[in-house]
Structure 1
Amino acid sequence: MEALFTSITAVAIAEIGDKTQLLALLLACKFKKPLPIIAGIIIATLLNHAAAAWFGSLVQQWLNPEILRWLVGFSFIAMALWVLVPDKIDEDDNKLLKYGPFLASLILFFIAEIGDKTQVATVILAAKYDSMFMVITGTTIGMCLANVPVVLLGKLGVEKLPMTLIHRVTAILFLVLGITTLVF
């Protein structure tokens, strides 16, 4: 259960202000059809994070536990620094909007997650915990907790979030995860 709750928390918080959350807002404003957008987000996240978790579990098998602990700990600390750099939407993302809400969401979210903070976090979490299923479930729930409200509410109130504070709190969370991984 620790893998599930840590995965949910880490990804939900890291996702706030992330490129994919901005993408969710863009899709919600463009299509005004939340269900196909949410379905696309969920499927893209499951596929992307399953691949990331699989890779993380391979890393876990290749490395001895002591090296893995140091790698995971320092990776969490690196994530803490990375979270402080806010994302922006690429202009190329707008070209795929012609495919409709579900397909555009599926394609754009899958591509946007490649190499993204939450995908890297999924790799790290899968390397740290033995339960790939719990990590994938947790990271997907975390993505939904951060993105579904944005899709449902559209522009209402999203711009009023204290993004700098949220990024700092997220950085602190990853820093604490890194330090506890290294110390314990």
Structure 2
Amino acid sequence: MLSAFTAGLLLITISELGDKTFFIAVILSMRHSRKLVFVGVTAALAAMTVLSVIFGQILSVLTQGSEKYVHYAEIVLFIAFGLKLLYDAWKMPIHAEEEVIEEAQEAVEKAEIDSQKQSIMSILLKSFVLTFIAEWGDRTQIATIALAASNNPIGVTLGAILGHAICAAIAVIGGKLIAGKISEKQITFLGGILFIIFGIFATLEGS
């Protein structure tokens, strides 16, 4: 369980920092209550994590008796993701985070209807929906599914939710100060290295 918790925590914390959902939280926290934005964003990411772990467990049940092939698929997935991220980082311009910030800004602007008079529930709902949509189909969701398919589901869930909460807290508390200092290129590179490390560990565990 501890190894699954650690894997989920590291995977999410590094991969999500500087992601689109991170900047959505930053922008929302500059316009609304930080506490409400944190609760809405974290709830969305926690819900996505639980769904991903459930998908992973369903996959594990459906492939019962073929654990070896699921394990090989997990290795291939992590290494492929890692190599893809390294390639993306290599091709990425130095200030690529500006494009991510613009996408997050556009998503928030579309959701803003009456920014002067918004209820607590509307802020929570907006934070939840924007984050959930942005996170759906993200590489971390797929990686969480892969982790949950062959690791302790409770450990993966707790680690991933904690990782999401850490990133959300950084975004709403100090996101405005560090938003312009985050290098999407460097974060993507670190994420690629992390995925490859997970692939190597998965290979060693199966040997």
**C-alpha displacement of 1:82:** 4.6
Is this contact kept in 1: 2:11–2:194, CA < 8 A?
yes
Look up the match of 1:111. 133
1:1-184 counterparts in 2 under 5 A?
A: 1-31=2-32, 33-63=33-63, 64-84=66-86, 85=88, 88=100, 89=103, 91-98=106-113, 100-129=122-151, 131-184=152-205
How far apart, CA to CA, are the structure 1 residues paired with 2:190 and 2:53?
A: 25
Structure 2 vs 1, CA of residues 92 and 161 (structure 1 numbering), >3 Å: closer, same or farther?
Answer: closer
Look up the match of 2:91. none
Number of positions where the alignment pairs a residue of Structure 1 with one of Structure 2: 182
Is this contact kept in 2: 1:60–1:127, CA < 8 A?
yes
Secondary structure, aligned partner of 2:7: helix
How far apart, CA to CA, are the structure 1 residues paired with 2:9 and 2:112?
A: 29
Q: Scaled by the length of structure 1, what TM-score is found?
A: 0.89
Secondary structure, aligned partner of 1:35: helix
CA RMSD, Structure 1 to Structure 2 (Å) = 1.9
Q: Scaled by the length of structure 2, what TM-score is found?
A: 0.80
Query: What are the Cα deviations for residues 47-92 of structure 1, in whole angstroms up to 9, with x where unaligned?
Result: 1111111011111122211101111111112322454547732634
**C-alpha displacement of 1:43:** 1.3
Task: Note the residue ranges of structure 1 that are not aligned, 5 or more in a row.
Answer: none
Identical amino acids, percent of aligned pairs: 27
Task: Note the residue ranges of structure 2 that are not aligned, 5 or more in a row.
Answer: 89-95
Amino acid of the structure 2 residue aligned with 1:126: A
How far apart, CA to CA, are the structure 1 residues paired with 2:60 and 2:140?
A: 18
**C-alpha displacement of 1:183:** 3.8
Is this contact kept in 2: 1:80–1:174, CA < 8 A?
yes
- Largest Rg, 1 or 2: 2
